[in-house]
Structure 1
Amino acid sequence: MGMFSRMFGSKKSESSGGTSSSQARAETLAHLKDFVATRPGCEAFIEPPTRVTQTTMVVVAESGEWTRRRVPDQATAKKVASQLGVPAFDVNLSGYPSRMREWNEKQRKKR
């Protein structure tokens, strides 16, 4: 067994168990749909990939509560936001909404 097989598993072991990419996509979409359906005033903020993470999408509710999920690329993120019926923004251009920071601060104070 090679070093990379030990670190990341082999294709053979991935297909016999674990989460498939189509299952992961379905779970991500279901989570985002539920989040948007149960919280008013949601907006999506697309975060570009870095050396450490792939493209992500943060959905922020009117209350400031938020959730983040990985997406394959920016085009897919825009497509998902459109399917969810929420506006999508490039976080590098718009920044994060202040309500998100305020919500985070309230959560820290509760702890």
Structure 2
Amino acid sequence: MGMLDRFRGTRGRSRTVARDSASEIAALAEWAAARRGVEAFVEPKTAVTDVTAVLVAADGEWTRRIVGERGARRLAGALKIPVYDVNRIGYPQRMRDYDARRRIEQRRAREQEQ
């Protein structure tokens, strides 16, 4: 590593972040294609993560990826799905219902193992 490499490294890092974001967007696009009634919910940046996109299917199944603000909007536009701001409208009830069903199923599976 040369003496000035640390100053030149910002370009390389931004390309890496762009590649990572592109792979996250590709994973979300694949997930959405396999389900029906998918909507995107954009979560704000936190101290720990950048802007994330949560895709929620009609049955409440969901997935989350870190994609950045532009990535979330670009993804929703490319998939032609509605996009919502979580701070404004919150999460859909079907998402909470899906999580509740999964917890019940997991509890029942553990009880059957015993």
Question: What interval of TM-score do these two structures reach, taking the shorter chain for normalisation?
Answer: 0.7 to 0.9
More displaced 10-residue stretch of structure 1: 78-87 or 99-108? 78-87
**Which one of 93, 97, 100 corresponds to residue 98 of structure 1?**
93
Q: How does 1:1-111 map to 2 (within 5 A)?
A: 20-73=16-69, 75-111=70-106
> Number of residues paired by the alignment?
94
TM-score (norm: length of structure 2): 0.74
The one-letter code sitting in structure 2 at the alignment partner of 1:57 is A
Q: Give structure 1 regions of 4+ aligned residues with deviation exceeding 4 angstroms.
A: none
Deviation at 1:23, TM superposition (A): 3.4
Determine which structure has the larger helix proportion and give its number: 2
Amino acid of the residue matched to residue 65 of structure 2? Answer: R
What TM-score results when the alignment is normalised by the length of structure 1?
0.76
Q: Distance in 1 between matches of 2:68 and 2:85?
A: 15
Q: Which residue of 2 aligns with 1:8?
A: none
Distance apart, 1:28 and its partner CA: 1.0
Shift of 1:64: 0.2
